[in-house]
Chains A and B, each alone.
Chain A
Amino acid sequence: MIIFDARLESTLDKAVKAHCDLEKKSGVLASPHFLIGTFAEGFDIHIAHITKCPLPATATATGGDAASKTVDDQWLVESAEKVIRMLPGGIDLVGILWLSNKNIFIEQRPRLIKALSRIAKYSTALTTMKLFSYIENMVLVNVEIPLGKPQAVVVDVVNRSPESPTKVVFNKLEWVSIVSRAGGRISDHIANLKTENFYNDFVDLLKPWAQRILDCNLILVDGKVRETNEYLNKDPKNKKSSFELVLLTESEGSDDSTTTLQQESTTNWHDFVFDIEIRAAVPVKSKVEFAVLATKQHIIRNMCSRAVLHYESMEVTEDRGTGGSQIIHQMPRPATTTLPYHSSILFSDFLFEADTIEDGQKNMKELLEIEASIEHVDDGWERALEVGEMEQVRAPGVVPDHLPLIISLQEKQSRFWFYVMIIVSVLVLLISIILYQVIKK
């Protein structure tokens, strides 16, 4: 069953009206929209938000043939990729809403199904590094223009079996926020370095670490161990809107393992340091298991989205670090805003050093149709390295290891001196007062 949030009923009406206007004005034959929501436990799909897929310039231009007045699957997939990167864990691009007349829909349907499969594939790669598959079905909703009701089919994107019609309902939906953090330092070499593809190398570097996170079944929810099959909100009367989750990895070797000291050599060494905030979102009636998965997916998607954007922004000719050289890659920083009426769902755009908060605001509007005021876009989560810090990072001698970066010694030291200076200042002040009193007498 497809459950649209009740507030989307009016959004849908507006979208239909907007399409009719556009059809009249520019002759656009179809308006594709992306459905954003959750593959909820069971077979339900919850829709929290609808955002319009941007149309190519040819669609709104005067003249042109029928093909130029609609969108092809390639365009759809590329637009969807941009949207997926902005979604928090637990929230996915779950399907396409297609507004057109019946004939156009029938004609485009195979393309749309193909696009959905490709979107699912991309989403899986970005969200799980292909370590496991989590999207089996997506939804294709068609609203026949001008007065049709939403008709939905579930598309099996894995086995490609025939689509099955499903019921569409509008209900009040709620999501809760899952708050967590992920930090650490991953230092290792990449055995099969593909210098021409930064993103693939990055995924290769992170994969073992991601696998360890995915493998670990123990988590702490609000500081306590919870059974994975329990409901997050145990007490239905006293619903919480936010949960703090601590992710863990097993720190043990097997019982039989013994000390090994293995000789290795490489031509590359990667040292990745990160500390990111996580705000995943899951339906209010989710089980712990679902929240955990959403959090894990958030981490991977967040990292991969930044890496893919960084890769796309790189110059083709850029030196990728050969012949004893050293390259520092600074990932883009997040700029976030919440979905109106669902404050638990926090979307992230990623900004480069030179980008401003206004760029984030613009992207939110273009890709997600969220008209957030500048005060509601937050780009203060992270910052780029300052010059001095960059020099520190460049300095050789950083110990490569697999341990999380707890707190830099530098930081501790500076704080120590800070306190010493306060104490010294107080002492100087006291001595001065005493001396003053003595001299006065």
Chain B
Amino acid sequence: MASLKRLKCKCKWTIDPLVKGKTKEDLFKIIDAAIFLPYQFLSSIEFLDNFEKIICYNDDFQTDAVTVLTKPKFLDTTLPHGKCSVYLIGSNHISIKSQNDIERTIKSVDPNVIMLELCIKRTDILSDYITEERFKQPQKQKGTFVSTIYSAIKNARKTDGRDFWAAYRVANKNCPIVLGDRIGDINRQRLASVITFTEVFRYVTLYLKWIYNGGLNQEKIDDRLLEKLQQDCPRMWKVWVKERDVYMTFVLQTLVKELIGKEKNNLDNRSAWRIVAVVGMGHVKGICENWNSTVVLPPDLMEMPPSSIQAEILKVLSWIEIQKMGKKETWILSTSSVFENFRNFSSWFEIERTRFVGVLFGNQLRIDVCLFLSDNHLKQHFFEFVTNSLASDLIFAGIVVVNGHEPDTDISYMGTGLEIRTTLETLQSSDSTFFLKSYPNIIDQWTQPSGVTLVSNVMFETVLRRGLEENDIKMATEKFAAAAAELIYHHKESDIVLQANTKHPKFLDDILKDKHTDQDRLRLTSYRRVSAQDEGNGDDQKHVPILKVQAGDIAFRRLRMPLWITAAAYGGDGSNEIYLRIEEAIRRRIYNVMYVMMKGFRKTYDISEVDCRCFLPANHSRILSIVMPRLADKEQQEWRIEMHKIFNLPSRVPCLRSLQAIDFSARAHFLRTPHLSIKNYKKTGRITTVKGMYDYYHYTQQGIDDNGWGCAYRSLQTIWSWYVLNGFFDRPIPLHREIQEALVRIEGEELRGKKFIGSKQWIGSFEIGYILSDAISVDCSYIAQFTDISEKARELQIHFESVGSPVMIGGNMLAHTILGVDFDENTGECRFLVLDPHYTGIDDVNTVINKGWCAWKMPSFWKTGIDQGGQPILYNIVKPQLPTNII
């Protein structure tokens, strides 16, 4: 085999094949194996000494900035066969040279993964809306010491991050970008906890001297400077450079392991996996040194030390810096969500006559919810109710002013909030380009960061004395809200505890990885401290225990209310951050409880029960927690209609019925809405799917062995569950016998025959339609007697858009449930999301998805041609419609 004899420079490899008499093709393979770069990517190859020596060149690597690392040696034993090259690019973050190096390397290598020296909190540079203009090369100035330094820093700040931006811009859109640096907050706080004033002074001196000598304009950092920094500022070096070297090496090694560990058939026709890593120049040496040894992250590496004076000073300084730089913020907003909410809003109101405004709620620079509210709903107390119903990390972030109508309200929002000015026509036409025309700092996309929804149950218990209910409920809620900071949450599986003011906050990235806040939930158990935390007045003498006994007739009511609390946890969040979010969720929930109770009290002069339920309507990406009074049916419906209006929910589809509330309990139920777990599906056109939840019914469930005959029954059960779970009615799902009895009742005994009930006879699309119409008054429309489903894709698309119920397709002795369509109007290409009732296994979502029981299928999934009887195979589809009076 070949051996890599000498790595002369980064662009030149000399290989000694060791075996004489090889053909050129063999030699190319040897090159591949030796340098881990496909030979097609080499600009020239020289064969010397009668093929005994090969010299390979790649002009794109004619730079010292790129270091090629091969598979770490320690992996030779565990993963002997895989190959992987890491192209480590040392960048100075600001120069055009670095940018060019990165662009050429990425284009040349076409990596499978790119790793950037960024963390989740520093991703604003990765934006499609940032142009080259932003990094306009600064003019070199040489003046006085102060002016030179000032202009150098100013220019450097302006162009900082162009390397990452370049990598993001030129990367293949399918190439994952890994944020490989430790969280910035940890870096800063760890630095602040160890650094001394002497080191700060030495560093500042060194830094200013370096800048004055044009260091920022140099393409490479002088090794002597790094050595000096290491000597003069050892603590800073350790935290800022060494620890991050270890961290980034760990990330890279993990990537290598994961890539090599993948199945071989996942590897494309190239011979090795390729990773491009863009890191600061100062990190290259450290990463190279660590590369061939197994890097294990020390447990304290991710710990955030307690806040110190230095840390606070550092925070203030960075804040001042940001203010001075006038940093332009880039917001993320989903215009399709804005337009859908507007459509729903306008379905409730006479839009031309209503004064309204769009209210934006978000988290940092991401807008998650845009609610259109009429002026009536913009009163302070009502607005608080709306905010308190939203996820606890969402705050009032800005407004959408329509036709210049400024909100007539006393609500103030922060000056840094987002303000979008638009017209009614733009909203009505759903024209996203026009909507964002004047806002280049807004990215139209919906990228939910990885994370989970944390769920906990907290019991609110109090007694309300007769005649003092109003006062008691107010005080009890105030106290409950105050006591929220005393709660402790425990996640049993990972043994993680969340409590207030943790001195060493942990990052929960391991358990948040590859999870999504709208789908994945983590159940926390809530606990209350038996004693209050010391408030720092521990020296105060306590008074002895006091028992007050009141005698006499006392009438009261005991209120017990379990509150389901939800809060989002994102990747990169520390435990303190998450805790504060849960605390805020409790406050929001309890204040809304008080608000609704008091509202009822003022009407009836009596306290009545309320229920706090969580919903995830189709047009909301975040959980809505709605407090609902327990009222008579009609009044309850009025309340739901009011809530539909406020939260921009559709006027024709129920979203807030009690059956639609999210069930957080550990009760076992059928596999719910499994298609949401399908990942990595590449769409061909526009996707429309079923709206809302459904349960997956399939063969052999409920103790019924219906294998071979019950598929249509199961499909009907799935459709029925959709109506139940989406709040249209609450009749129990019928079993096979009940379905047969209903059919006999509808069609008559003569038609079905006496032995039909209890038999294993099939039913078809039309029978399903009859039962739905008869039992729950759901009208159905049909697509009858067709042979090729691809011709019906558009019709189904319209159904999923307007109705959103699952449909059943029957034919060729089979029945399936269709949950969605992916249809390209231009090419006519289509796929169908199929839920297969023929499945007989356990209700495990991974099995169901991976084995294709719930999957996107080509039209050829349904056979065309002639059946066994010589007749063409015909299919029928039943499309259940929406009932009326449904909210």
The residues of B that contact A256 with a CB separation of less than 8 Å are: 665, 667
A321 close to B530 (CB less than 8 A)? no
Min CB gap B567→A, angstroms: 15
The DSSP consensus for interface residues of chain B is strand
* B207: Cβ under 8 A from any A Cβ: no
Q: Does B356 contact A (CB under 8 A)?
A: no
Would you give the 0/1 interface string for A365-389, flagging 1 where the beta carbon is closer than 8 Å to chain B? Answer: 0000000000000001111110001
The contact size tier of chain A is 35 or more
Q: Which of chain B's residues 536-578 have a Cβ closer than 8 Å to chain A?
A: 541-562
Q: Is the CB of B526 within 8 A of A251?
A: yes
CB nearest to B468 among chain A residues: A397
Measured CB to CB, the nearest residue on chain A to B667 is A255
Closest to B457 in A: A252
Which residues of chain A have C-beta atoms less than 8 A from B610's C-beta? 259
Closest CB of chain B to A312's CB: distance in Å? 15
Interface residues of A in 247-275 (CB under 8 A from B): 247-275
Q: Contacting B476 at CB < 8 Å: which of A181, A249, A322, A401?
A: A401
Q: Is A216 an interface residue (CB 8 A)?
A: yes
Is A258 within 8 A of B611, CB to CB? yes
Is A145 in contact with chain B by the CB < 8 A criterion?
no
The interface centre, meaning the residue of A224, A254, A404 with most chain B CB atoms within 10 A of its CB, is A404
Pairwise interchain contact B545-A303, C-beta atoms closer than 8 A = yes
B75 at the interface (CB under 8 A from A): no
Instruction: Give the contact stretch, choosing among A2-10, A63-71, A182-190.
Output: A182-190
- Residues of B in contact (CB 8 Å), total 69
Interface stretch of the complex, out of B98-106, B477-485, B792-800: B477-485
Cβ of A406 within 8 Å of any chain B Cβ, yes or no, is: yes
| Identity of the chain A residue whose Cβ is nearest the Cβ of B476 in the assembled complex | A401
With contacts A251-B487, A261-B559 taken as known, whether A332 is within 8 angstroms of B547 at the C-beta atoms is no
Q: Are A401 and B462 in contact (CB under 8 A)?
A: yes
Partner of A333, one of B458, B544, B556: B544
* CB of A324 within 8 Å of the partner chain: yes
Are B557 and A259 neighbours in the complex by a CB distance under 8 Å? no
B497 — which chain A residues lie within 8 A by C-beta?
220, 224-225
B527 contacts A by Cβ under 8 Å: yes
In the bound complex, CA of A327 to CA of B548 (Å): 6
| Residue B461 CB within 8 A of the other chain | yes
Quick check: A261 and B551 within 8 Å, CB to CB? Answer: no
Instruction: Assess whether B554 is in contact with A262, with CB atoms less than 8 Å apart.
Output: no
Is A331 an interface residue, CB under 8 A from the partner? yes
Is A218's CB under 8 angstroms from B541's CB?
A: no
Q: A253-B457, A255-B664, A322-B551 are in contact. Are A248 and B488 (CB under 8 A)?
A: yes
Interface hub of B486, B503, B547, B556 (most chain A Cβ within 10 A): B547
B532 contacts the other chain (CB 8 A): yes
Chain B residue numbers with a CB within 8 Å of A184 are 530-531
Which residues from 414 to 463 on chain B have a C-beta closer than 8 Å to any C-beta of chain A? 456-459, 461-463
Q: A273, B529: Cβ atoms under 8 Å?
A: no
Check B465 against A400 for contact (C-beta < 8 Å). yes
A125 at the interface (CB under 8 A from B): no
Assembly CA distance A399 to B480 (angstroms): 12
Flag if B548 contacts A270 (CB, 8 Å): yes
A262 with B558: in contact, given A249-B527, A252-B458, A268-B551 (CB under 8 Å)? yes
- Look across to chain B and name the residue whose beta carbon is closest to the beta carbon of A189: B554
- Chain B min CB distance to A222 (Å): 11
Q: Which residue of A lies closest to B556 (CB)?
A: A264
A381 to B544, CA, bound (A): 9
B479 touches A401 (CB 8 A): yes
Residue of B nearest to A400 (CB): B463
Whether B541 pairs with A259 at a CB distance below 8 angstroms is: no
A328 touches B530 (CB 8 A): no
A327 to B546, CA, bound (A): 10
CA distance A58 to B331 in the complex (A): 91
15 A-B residue pairs with CB within 8 Å? A188-B463, A213-B530, A220-B497, A225-B497, A246-B530, A250-B526, A259-B562, A260-B558, A260-B561, A261-B558, A261-B607, A271-B547, A328-B547, A330-B544, A331-B546
Return the 3 tightest CB-CB contacts between A and B, nearest first. A255-B665, A181-B531, A274-B545
Question: Contact residues of A with B, CB < 8 Å?
Answer: 180-184, 187-189, 202, 205, 213, 216, 218, 220, 223-225, 246-277, 299, 303, 306, 320-333, 380-385, 389, 393-394, 397-407
Residues of B within 8 A of A (CB): 456-459, 461-463, 465, 468, 471-472, 475-476, 479-480, 482-483, 485-488, 490, 495, 497, 499, 502-503, 525-532, 534-535, 541-562, 607-611, 630, 664-667
